[in-house]
Structure 1
Amino acid sequence: MTKFAVCIAALLSLGGCSVLDSMVYRIDIPQGNYLEQDDVDKLRIGMTEEQVIYVLGKPVAENSFDSDRWVYLYNMNPNEGKVYRKELILTFNNERLSDLSGDFAKSDQFDQPLDQ
């Protein structure tokens, strides 16, 4: 009889875990490089890698196979709501910025080098 009572108590306590699990608050943890359009608008064709790092910072993950392609990713998986994901891909040629693509728009001044 005591083994039966222990089994029932164990089953009831396990069933209560799902109720408690839904009551636990989980914080939102952002991952990656958070960028805004204003930051991307500061980029110009022909910028050096150091200038890009000054404006945007270094990408969180570096590509070991292609150092001429930098990918900035940002993920936010909120406790409630939809997942927020942004991506910016920068392409370099001879250590100079040559193109950008992804979820951010190119500024009108992107094709004008800083020298002008």
Structure 2
Amino acid sequence: MMLIPTRRAWALVLPALLLTGCSTSQTSWRNPETLFGLLTPYRIDVVQGNVVTQEVLAQIQPGLGRLQVREILGTPLLADPFHADRWDYVFTIRRQGVPDQKRRVTVHFNGDTVARFEAGEMPSEREFVASIDRPVKGRNPKPDLTPEQVAALPAPPKAEVVRKAPEGAVRTYPPLERGQP
């Protein structure tokens, strides 16, 4: 008789334990940055599309031809056959340790000339390079020496450069035409 109440108790406790175990393991599985909350797997860098900066976008003006736009911005990532008068330039970058970036420029044509273009906030070239640059662990980009200490360092020895005339095998070739010595 004692066996039945314990079976009922286990029948109630076991599903509750299993469900709580699932809820804690689900949080570690949902986070793609960690594996079981302990390891961080390597994420490959993904760069797609055309980089468009403020300097490049300033060259696009209404009235430019399709060929000129292609020379400035490159081949569009999206050229919809149903909207032949619209080119979409999309740029995305996903790197580990750096926030994801996504930018979009849409160029609308009227025939073969640019009618208008739409773009969000574009970074300058310096801002773009700074946004994708990430520090390397263990490397200090700034020197620890003061300018006076750097000036006091000994100059590296100069290597003597000795230039020789090119040397090669001495070859004699037969004359190309008959009758010449």
Structure 1 outlier segments of 4+, above 2 Å? 21-27
Shift of 1:59: 0.5
Shift of 1:70: 0.7
Alignment of 1:54 onto 2:71: yes
Match of 1:31 in 2: 48
Aligned-partner residue type, residue 82 of structure 1: P
Which residue among 91, 95, 106 is the counterpart of 2:108? 91
Q: Deviations over 1:5-28 (max 9, x none)?
A: xxxxxxxxxxxxx47x93543331
Alignment of 1:41 onto 2:58: yes
Over alpha carbons, which structure has the higher Rg?
Answer: 2
Tell me if structure 2 keeps the 8 A contact 1:40–1:104: no
Q: Deviations over 1:35-85 (max 9, x none)?
A: 111111111210000010011111122211001011100111222342200
Tell me if structure 2 keeps the 8 A contact 1:73–1:86: yes
Q: In structure 2, how many angstroms separate the alpha carbons of the residues matched to 1:81 and 1:75?
A: 12
Q: In structure 2, how many angstroms separate the alpha carbons of the residues matched to 1:22 and 1:54?
A: 45
Structure scoring higher RCO (CA < 8 A, sep ≥ 6) equals 1
Q: Name stretches of at least 5 consecutive residues in structure 2 with no aligned partner.
A: 1-34, 123-181
**In proportion to residue count, which structure has more strand?**
1
How many equivalent pairs are there?
87
Normalising by structure 2, what TM-score?
0.44
User: Helix, strand or coil for the counterpart of 1:67?
Assistant: coil
Q: Name stretches of at least 5 consecutive residues in structure 1 with no aligned partner.
A: 1-17, 106-116
Q: Report the identity percentage.
A: 24
Aligned-partner residue type, residue 43 of structure 1: I
Match of 1:63 in 2: 80
Q: In structure 1, how many angstroms separate the alpha carbons of the residues matched to 2:39 and 2:75?
A: 37
Normalising by structure 1, what TM-score?
0.66
Shift of 1:103: 1.2
Match of 2:138 in 1: none
Describe the shift of the 1:66–1:81 C-alpha distance in structure 2 as closer, same or farther (beyond 3 A): same
CA RMSD of aligned residues (A): 2.0
